[in-house]
Structure 1
Amino acid sequence: MKKHSARVAPLSACNSPVLTLTKVEGEERPRDGPGPAESAAAGAEAARAARGGCRCSGPRLRKLSWGLAVALCVCASWAGATQLARLTFRTFDAPFTLTWFATSWNCVFFPLYYAGHVCKAAERQSLKQRYRECCRFFGDAGLTPRAFCTRAAPFGVLWTLTNYLYLHAIQKINTTDASVLFCCNKAFVFLLSWIVLRDRFMGVRIVAAILAIAGIVMMTYADGFHSHSVIGIALVVGSASTSALYKVLFKLVLGSATFGEAALFLSVLGAFNVLFVTCVPVVLYFTRVEYWSPFGAVPWGHLCGFSVLLLTFNIVLNFGIAVTYPTLMSLGIVLSVPVNAVVDHYTSTIVFNGVRVIAIVIIGLGFLLLLLPEEWDTWLVKLLTRLKVRRKEEPAEGAGDAGSGPQKSRRARPSFAR
């Protein structure tokens, strides 16, 4: 039986049920967490920092620069998509239709990937050859109807459910609360991976999960347990749970994917949405559950803008790992919370009372704790040991210098006597 690694810390907390467990083509290990080589490099970096070294190589500086750019792109695209969805619902009260419309844009993932392959690859392959090679991700037989139903359809359902619950929650609570509560999905990923994937037990991540649950309770208390806000918070927590289930099941069933395989998988999810989910918004329209009239009044600009921002967010998350560190990409998600808070402060009637601020800080702290690598305690012990050794060496050197002074002066006196 194939054993799956469950290191989902860096990227599996992203605010979307996207495939974030990609790996660089040609690598054998999944790029979903810091592996031995990356851990060793980070440990060496910490050691140099402890010794006071500040040397950075050109490639590392370039990677950090790309990381800052990617983090800002993640923050801007996610916060922009959230705010634009809230704005769309003022004139278009149809969260499931918006989910279906945005998910349909996933079909362009593989064409975009192939366009990049043609522009950058040294050995270009035809579209048919590239497609067949990426289809091996679904099994030796490729993308058969059976593989489509067993390996793609369940994830399509989870994808749609996650986005719908999140968008539906935005109608009931402000975007700041929704974005910070969705960050709890990282804690849910850890708990599920610990139970299902037999992930390594880490006390600090258990503490982070407890902080996430405490933040959810405090966020509910901040609005006085009103039914409207409680329902909205429950919807966001449900969205975070289904997102975590999506990622853990993907890791359990499919493992990890190259960029081409990830692009094809996401395009297949878009095709599943067009083929099998299209009937749902049609039924909701004719039953007047999600009814808009007249048809010309639909805010197509908002719908397309939201879809483009969400598509950009998913592309950056899946393919940004090639140019930067996963942790920096996750930090971009955390930065979207204060951005949403600033926008809500000027565009809505949100009240940042003490309980709400503490809840946001607690959930954010739990999110950051979950970004710690598995070997963080070993690095911390080594860092403290080096600092202690350095402090002991400094007094010894000072004492040696003080003791050598009188000896030099004594040796100097006979020379003057002559």
Structure 2
Amino acid sequence: MPMDKVAEFINTGCYREALARLCRLAQEPIEDGRRVLDDWELAHHPAEIVSFEVLSRDQYITVTAAEIERVPLHWLRALDDHCHHVYGPDNAMPQDIVVDGFGGSKVLPTSPRFGGGARKQQMGNLSYWLKHHRVVPLDNPQGIPVDVAVIPKGYAEWTNRRLGKEILRIGIVHFTDDIRLDMVFPTNSTFFYCQGLDDEETRLHSALEHIRHAKRKQVHMLIMPELTITPNLRSRITDIMMQLSIEQGDDHELSVPIIVLGSFHERVNEKWRNHAEAVVGLDGVKLFGCDKRKSVTFRRKKECLQCSPTPVTCLYSSIGLTGMAICKDLFEGEPAAILQSLSLDWLLVPSMSDNTGPHEAEARRLFNINGTVVVVANQEMPHASARKTGFVHHHRKKAARCDAGLTIIEVALNDRDTDMTDN
């Protein structure tokens, strides 16, 4: 029976494993495009109950697969309650991989301030049934690995203390220094790649000024656009942060809690990728990275993406679950499907495009369905006739548009419809 392994986990005290496996089973497809969860909901009897106290006895209980099969949603909620009391949120271990019999998952505590959107109010979603957790499978039908990063030990208190505000200030960069990409179009090829910028020193100056401005304005998260910060510049910026941290302590002029230092093409094992990284502004330590998977076409040439070794990674912190995607991965194909399934609280998107219409449509959908606040830092394509800036979608009806330079948008964590800007 499908519930045999769930019963085995419960009977041996492996409650997170049981919760993760039940969530996997609920998402299994059945005929007509429906899922197992749909049938569970139709057969659900609210009058019945399985209390988490049943799972809290001194000795292990014995439950049969048939008992779980009869009222699976009651067991789902009981396990959700029990794991909350045993493991979290204060004792949660989000870095642990839970092996649920299908593969690896991570069982993450949720916060009442996050995980909003229609999923919490609509049956047909696990978010409707889970009060305390979200379960993140590390594998998926798309074949793209998923991972959950945590703030490194020694940085969590510093970062979470600064993020733990009722209003989060988000900085979105649009560079106006007119620095051009050094693009390569190999002869007799169908692709292009970017090997650098025509003036790295000016871009370094611009990037540092934006970070300083963001720090003065008490920004919590700062995002720079796609193809604006080379690997060399990223290394130089983080080296400067490290030096300032040593010389001035933890409140220096660049110490913005979370900074996405754009993205750029770089070589990994002799193959090209488009890679972005988020760092802690304290000393530049890496939080998590992102590889682009869906290439853009420019001048009838395909962006040269030969590898994307970094899993789709999200960061677990005091503000919930934060993901990152580069440009088209937000709204196209397999990466977009995975991002939607993760029910992220925040999605940070370095982008380079002359048309952000698809970005805006997907951001609106993600906010309305999952409550995901989508932040797009956009730079127009090379030789564009007009500037094209980014936006933050944290309102049901419209996105808050950004201006050139640095735009700061405030998002009230208990009211995502707040729309305040400061340039």
Q: TM-score range by the shorter chain?
A: under 0.3
Which entry has the higher C-alpha Rg, 1 or 2?
1
Which structure is richer in relative contact order (CA contacts within 8 A, separation 6 or more)?
1
Could you tell me the TM-score, scaled by structure 1's length?
0.25
Could you tell me the TM-score, scaled by structure 2's length?
0.25
Q: Which has the higher strand share?
A: 2
Q: Which has the higher helix share?
A: 1
